[in-house]
Structures are given as structure tokens and as C-alpha cells.
Amino acid sequence: MSTRRVAITGVGVISPCGLGVDAFWEGLHAPAPEGLRHIAEFDPLPYFDNPKDARRSDRFTQFALAAAAEAMAMAGPIGGDPTRQGVWIGTGIGGLTTLEDQVLVHDHKGARRVSPFLVPMLMANAASAAVSMRYGWQGPCETTCTACAAGTHAIGNAFNLIRQGRCDAVITGSSEAAMTPTGIAGFTNMTAMSGSLLSRPFDRDRDGFVLAEGAGVLVLEDWERAEARGATILAELLGAASNADAHHITAPSPGGAGAVACMRMAIADAGLTPADIAHVNAHGTSTPLNDAAEAAAIETVFGPAGPPVTSIKGVTGHSLGAAGALEAVAVVMSMRNAALPPTAGFATRDPEMAPIDIVTGSGRPWSPGPTLSNSFGFGGHNGCIVIGPAA
């Protein structure tokens, strides 16, 4: 089956380290902050026709609409047949803020006071639906809900819609807003969160992730159509893969076996070999097991002299289902700026970890090349995509 090239023509970000791609890129070079990564300064009202509509959207949907607005503005007028334009927005948890608020309403005020908008606000597909309605895109409108791999899986699925000829353009990415009191308590009590609230990917003293929220959105288009309309092509999506550890609900498979297989499949899907990969954007959550397994997997795939490795979670924290999309945007920005951001929070190499080339300090100048971006989620969900510079 013949396949089509897939261009990235727009990106948008709502992140704890910056609202909008320029602020986000600047924030990735800032020192690692302390504490939970809540986006305190976000105002949803500019992205809605009226305050009532904003109140009837969960925070994760608000984030998705805001990031999509920036990405679509960057992409410029796309035109075309709306039935061949799709939306695929992932999330790990969906409208947890709405659910928790309305459970309290039910408990304190009774069933009759529960909002009639509870279900359409909390459902995981609400963000995809809202984006499709905002832009009138009538093609496939779907949602991937695979924990921390959701963003990367959604981008991979959108990529295949275009590559295989079903769609000419897709708005894709992921969004998460799960920083409710109960959500925080759940992650804390399962000991996944850092006790010190410091995110230190791959560091010897890492002790868990720091919970975050946010959204990343990319506009994907058929390459020839994007060129024909004079779009600025930011990067090219080259390959994608997905598999499962089939091992444990939270722990990675020993030695990162599932991650190894997924990385190799994504690289092969891009028509490349490991020697072609110029950078690995790691999942790198700052948990002891995940980072060790991922480092081992990277060394297995690339050998002892592999490409430079970064994790942006030292700055952004771990935004669960939104992480993969935020990291895909970071990869595109690295290509646009010919530089790799540092792995903030990394200070001391772990002598028991595979000796991968972790980018530290103030970052590193870089000649853009094919980049592998990894996401590994609870449940054993693995996702990898390969992004290349526009050429």
C-alpha cells in the first residue's frame, strides 16, 4: 500500500513552564522548580464565546481548546473537505476535576443538585469533540486513553489516518487536568510521587514523579497538500509504534523489554535504523523503576555510544496523558532552534543505571535529525513516534 508523507504545520502548548510555544521553549531552559506543577495563570475565557460555555467544559477540555487555537493559528488556513479532516486528542484520565466536584455536590447537597453537564464534561472524549466542533472538522473524531502513553498514541493514530489516505489533516495531541485533591492523594499514597516534590529524571536520587497538568496539540497534514497551500512545514512525522509489556499494572517489564520492542518498531516504521536517530526524547519520569528500565532499553537499542537523551519532565513535571504531546512539541521546537534543552533536575549519575548520554547543564547545540520520542504508561502501554526535520 502506498503511503503519504505527513507534515507538522502547527503546534500549541499549555504547560506549567509556559503558555504558548515560545514561553514553553524558554521555560524548558529554566532551573527545575519545586512542588506540584499546577498552571495557576491559565484563563479559559479567551477560548470561548461566553463564560457560560467555559463553565460547561472541564479544565482538560479548556486546555485542549487553548492549545489547538495556537496550533491552528500557526498552521494557517487549511481549507479542504471537512469530512477528510479529523481530530484525535488523547487523555489519561479525562474530566477528573468535574467528577470530583460533582461527587461532593451529590454528597453535600443531594442528587437533584448534580450538574446535568456532568457526563459530557467528564467523558474522556470531550476534548476531541470540543475541538472538532470548534473547527467544523467532520472526519474521524476519536480519543486514546492509555494512561501516560495517550498523547504519543494519539499522535501515532492521527499520523496513520493521513499516511494511509483516510484524512488530509488531523488536529492531534493530548490534554490532562487531574490535579484534584483526591487525584493527588491517590498518586501520593501509591508512592509514585516524589516525597520531596522534586523531579530528577535519571538522577541517582530520584524518588518519584511530580504531578503536572497541561496540553499539547499538533496539526498534521498530508505533505503535498501542505506544500501546495504554501504552509510552513515545521517538521515531518516519520513513524509510530505501539505495544504492551503485558507484565504489571504499574511497573515496567524487566530490562525494559517492551520499550525495546516498541522503539525498534517505531524506527523501522520510519524506514530508519538506530544509527539514524539523532536524539531520544525520553519518557524519563523520575521514578526509580521507569528511569532504570528506560535507560537499559535505550542502551539495548542504540548500544553504548547512543544518541543524546533528554527528559523535559524535570521542568514540566509529569502531566500523565498530556506528557507525550508536550514532548512532541518540545522535539519540534528543538528542531526549529537547533538545540536540545537540558534534563533539568539531573545532578548525579546513577552508577547502577545504563550509561546513556543525558543532556545536562544549559542544554546542547544540535544538528537536527530524526528523533525518537518515548511514552510508557501504567498498564504496560508503550508508544513511540519518530519525528524528523522538515526537508
At 53-86, the pLDDT tens digits run 999 999 999 999 999 999 999 999 999 999 999 9
Out of 17, 141, 145, 148, pick the active-site residue: 148
Structure confidence at residue 2 as a pLDDT band (50, 70, 90) = low
Q: What is the per-residue DSSP string for 139-186?
A: S-EE----GGGHHHHHHHHHHHHHHTTS-SEEEEEEEE----HHHHHH
Question: What average pLDDT does the structure give for the chain?
Answer: 95
Neighbours of 316 (CB within 10 A): 31
Kindly tell me the number of DSSP H helices and DSSP E strands found in the chain: 13, 14
Query: Which residue is associated with the grid cell 545536562?
Result: 360
Distance CA 324, CA 144 (A): 12
Q: Is 17 a catalytic residue?
A: no
- Give the residue from 220, 221, 201 showing the smallest Cα distance to 353: 201
Kindly name the residue from 279, 318, 381, 384 that is annotated as catalytic. 318
Q: pLDDT tens, 345-358? A: 999 999 999 999 99
Rounded Cα–Cα distance for residues 119 and 126 (Å): 9
Catalytic residue among 17, 145, 167, 283: 283
Question: In the annotation, is 318 catalytic?
Answer: yes
**Among residues of the chain, what percentage have pLDDT more than 90?**
92
- What was the pLDDT predicted at 19? 97
Q: Does the pLDDT of residue 331 top 60, yes or no? A: yes
Domain topology for 7-389: Peroxisomal Thiolase; Chain A, domain 1 (3.40.47)
Report the relative pairing of strands 214-222 and 308-310 from DSSP bridges: unpaired
Give the model's pLDDT for residue 253. 85
For the chain, give every domain's residue range: 7-389
Residue 1 has pLDDT above 60, yes or no: no
> What global pTM score does this model have?
0.96
Percent of the chain with pLDDT over 70: 99
With 90 as the cut, is the pLDDT of residue 391 above it? no
Q: Is the dihedral of CA 118, 318, 13, 307 positive or negative?
A: negative
Task: Give the mean pLDDT of 247-259.
Answer: 86
Higher pLDDT, 88 or 195: 88
Range from 69-83, 111-125, 244-258, 303-317 carrying the lowest mean pLDDT: 244-258
Residue partners of 362: CB distance under 8 A and separation at least 6: 29, 342
Question: H or E stretch including 38?
Answer: none
